[in-house]
Amino acid sequence: MSILFFANQGYAQQINSHLQVNSSLQNHVCAILKENIKKVDAINGQIIIMDCKSGEIKAMVNLMNTKSGIKPAIGQLSEPTALMRTVSLLAVLEQGKINPNDSIDTKAGMLDINGYLLKDYNWRRGGNGKTSLQQGFLLSSNIATYLAVKQAFGKDYAQFHKIITDMGYGLPQDSTKATSSIPDNDISLAKFVNGKSQQISPLQILTFYNAIANNGKMVKPTVHKDDTTIIKEQIASKENIATIQQLLIQKGLTSKAFSDKVPIAGEQGVAFVTEDGDNTIYCIQFCGYYPAKNPQYSIIVSLNKKGLPASGGMVGEIAKQIIK
C-alpha cells in the first residue's frame, strides 16, 4: 500500500517545505485524476488523502477542465454533498430514539412532502418499501434518511442542526466559506439531511469521515509534520461510531472502491449542484478510509460533472485506482 502525494498550486510551497514529497507519486495521483476527468468529461475534480491519526495531509490535487486542457485549480470545491447521509444517520443515533434495526417505510421510492417530491435514486425500480434504518442507509435511500431524522427529531429542526454542529460537521471553519441553512420546515429538512441547502468543502467532509475512522476523535487537517491539533476528543458515542464504522465497511464492500488488496470503508453518492435538464450539474463523491478495520489514511474524491451518466461508482473507481 502506497502513500500518494500531490499538491496543487495553492498548497505546493507549504507542503514541499515540510513533507518528504515523492515526485513520481505526485505525478501518479495527478495522472489518475486527469485521466478520469477526461474519461467522464468532468468540469473539475479534487482528491485529498489524510493521515487518520495526525491529520497530516498526504495528498491534495485540484484540477479543472478548460478549453485549453486540464489545469491546476486554485481553491476547493464547495458544493452540496450526498455524503451527508452518514452525518444524518449518526445524528439520529445520537438522539437515542431510534435503533439501527427499527423499521422505516420508504414506500414506492417517492414521498410527497407538502408538494415537494423526495425520490430515492432507484425509485424507477419501485423503491425499497419497508426496511430497517441501517438497511435504508446501505441502500442509499434519501427517503429513509429523511424519515429517520423526522422520527428522531419531529419538528425540532434546531435540535438536529445543533447535534450535527456539536459533532463537528463543517469543521475546520477556516478551510472554506462553507454555508448551511438551518432547516425550518419539513421540505428544507428533507433537502438538508440528504446534502442540499449547504455548501461544504471536500476537506470538511473528509475531516468528519476521518473522525469516524479515528474512533470519534476529530483532528485538524495540517500540512505540517508533528503538528497534530485535536478539534474534538469525541464527536459521538463510541457505540454509535462503531455502528457507523460497520455500515461504512459494508458499503465499501459493495462499492466500486472495493479492493481485495486494501479493504476500504466508505460512502459514495451524487447530489445536484444545479438542476437544469440536460445541463444539470452533479457533484459526485466518494469518501472513506483504509485499511477498513485498521484505518491509516482517509480519502475523498470529488468530481463536478454536467449531465448523465453520473454515479458514485465513477469516483469509487478512482479511489480504488489510487489505493491499490
pLDDT score at 147: 96
125-179 pLDDT, tens per residue? 667 889 999 999 999 999 999 999 999 999 999 999 999 999 999 999 864 555 5
pLDDT(115) > 70: yes
Cis peptide before 221 (omega within 30 of 0): no
pLDDT score at 24: 65
State the residue range of the domain holding 274: 12-75+237-323
134-149 pLDDT, tens per residue? 999 999 999 999 999 9
Q: Total domain count for the chain?
A: 2
Question: How far is it, in rounded angstroms, from Cα 178 to Cα 203?
Answer: 11
With respect to residue 71, please indicate whether it lies within any of the assigned structural domains.
Answer: yes
Torsions phi, psi for 196 (to 5 deg): -85, 175
What average pLDDT does the chain have? 87
Q: What is the mean pLDDT of residues 225-238?
A: 94
pLDDT score at 224: 85
Residues 241 and 166 in one domain: no
134, 167, 193 — which closes off a domain?
Answer: 193
Query: What CATH number is attached to the domain comprising 242?
Result: 3.30.450.330
pLDDT(235) > 80: yes
- Can you give the length of the chain in residues? 324
With respect to residue 224, please indicate whether it lies within any of the assigned structural domains.
Answer: no
Whether residue 153 contacts residue 193, with contact meaning beta carbons closer than 8 Å, is answered with no
